[in-house]
């Protein structure tokens, strides 16, 4: 019997924590760019966006624990978490700025055209937004997307078409382009991925993953068993500096 086939109630707390950490590693890899793009809704400061991302990943841990098959189904909905966490982080950063302690940072997106594209993308309804990102930025197949959302492949194509249409509607007032066509959507999002990817060096990925995993390795069992209430604010963000 494979580990993922063992009922969770028959798994020891230590083994369960190992399963959660394994699933969590997949979530970090799967959702990093998705979350950073969502962060661009609130800030174009890379340091602040990274901070929101770290807090969001920590806050996903209890959601992963609720998955029926955490190792094989790494998707959890994080848009609401980003929307909850970002205002708190911005408030915290504002205090640091007023005290002269706010860290200088390069922009998350440096190209003005890509900033407008990210703005339009973040205004697209979440169901459409998700499939656009997973198909055209993460380059997932429509089959894989259909399995994640438990939809038919035809449903995925419909969501992609409606999402592309809505993206164009939100982009039109922002972008000085003569013609905005649905066929352009994959190319635009590929360019957005390239623009964002320039700032996602492997060192940051490794630093983010290691720092968050260290936090969860220390507290994961207590969080999973309910002994500790997770508070992302208890995370020491200085390890990313």
Give residue 156's pLDDT: 95
User: In terms of Cα–Cα distance, which of 126, 124, 138 is closest to 192?
Assistant: 138
Q: What percent of the chain lies above the pLDDT cut of 90?
A: 21
Listed in sequence order, the residues at least 6 apart from 6 whose beta carbon sits closer than 8 Å to its beta carbon are none
Q: Are 53 and 36 spatial neighbours (Cβ–Cβ below 8 Å)? A: yes
Q: Is the dihedral of CA 85, 88, 94, 99 positive or negative?
A: negative
Residue 11 CB neighbour total at 10 angstroms: 14
Domains recognised in the chain with CATH numbers: 13-108+201-241 (no CATH), 109-198 (1.10.10)
Give residue 164's pLDDT: 95
Model confidence at 3, in pLDDT bands (50, 70, 90)?
A: very low
Give residue 69's pLDDT: 44
Instruction: List the Cα angle 69/160/50 in 5-degree steps.
Output: 60
Give residue 2's pLDDT: 36
pTM: 0.76
126-133 mean pLDDT: 91
Predicted confidence (pLDDT) per residue in 61-107, tens digit:
766 666 544 444 445 678 888 988 899 889 888 887 766 555 567 88
Q: Are 138 and 26 spatial neighbours (Cβ–Cβ below 8 Å)? A: no
154-167 mean pLDDT: 95
Predicted confidence (pLDDT) per residue in 6-52, tens digit:
444 444 555 655 666 676 667 777 788 888 889 999 999 888 888 88
Query: Residue 33: phi, psi to the nearest 5?
Result: -70, -35
Higher pLDDT, 57 or 44: 44
Rounded CA-CA distance 20/216 in Å is 9
Give residue 99's pLDDT: 63
Does the pLDDT of residue 53 top 60, yes or no? yes
Predicted confidence (pLDDT) per residue in 161-198, tens digit:
999 999 999 999 998 766 788 889 999 998 888 887 65
Instruction: List the Cα angle 26/58/9 in 5-degree steps.
Output: 70
Where do we find the tokens 């800030």?
A: 43
109-122 mean pLDDT: 91
């Amino acid at each position: 019997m494979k580990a993922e086939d063992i009922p969770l109630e028959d798994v020891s707390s230590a083994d369960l924590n190992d399963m959660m950490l394994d699933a969590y590693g997949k979530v970090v890899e799967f959702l990093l760019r998705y979350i950073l793009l969502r962060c661009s809704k609130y800030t174009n400061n890379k340091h602040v966006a990274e901070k929101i991302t770290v807090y969001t990943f920590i806050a996903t841990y209890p959601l992963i624990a609720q998955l029926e098959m955490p190792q094989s189904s790494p998707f959890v909905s994080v848009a609401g978490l980003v929307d909850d966490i970002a205002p708190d982080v911005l408030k915290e950063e504002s205090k640091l700025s007023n005290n002269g302690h706010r860290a200088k940072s390069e922009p998350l997106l440096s190209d003005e055209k890509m900033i407008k594209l990210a703005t339009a993308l973040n205004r697209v309804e979440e169901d459409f937004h998700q499939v656009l990102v997973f198909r055209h930025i993460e380059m997932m197949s429509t089959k894989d997307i259909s399995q994640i959302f438990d939809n038919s492949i035809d449903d995925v194509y419909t969501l992609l078409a409606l999402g592309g249409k809505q993206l164009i509607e939100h982009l039109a007032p922002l972008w000085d382009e003569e013609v905005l066509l649905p066929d352009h959507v994959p190319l635009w999002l590929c360019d957005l991925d390239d623009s964002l990817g320039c700032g996602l060096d492997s060192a940051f990925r490794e630093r983010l993953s290691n720092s968050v995993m260290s936090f969860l390795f220390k507290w994961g069992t207590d969080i999973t068993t309910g002994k500790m209430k997770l508070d992302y604010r208890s995370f020491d963000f200085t390890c990313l500096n």
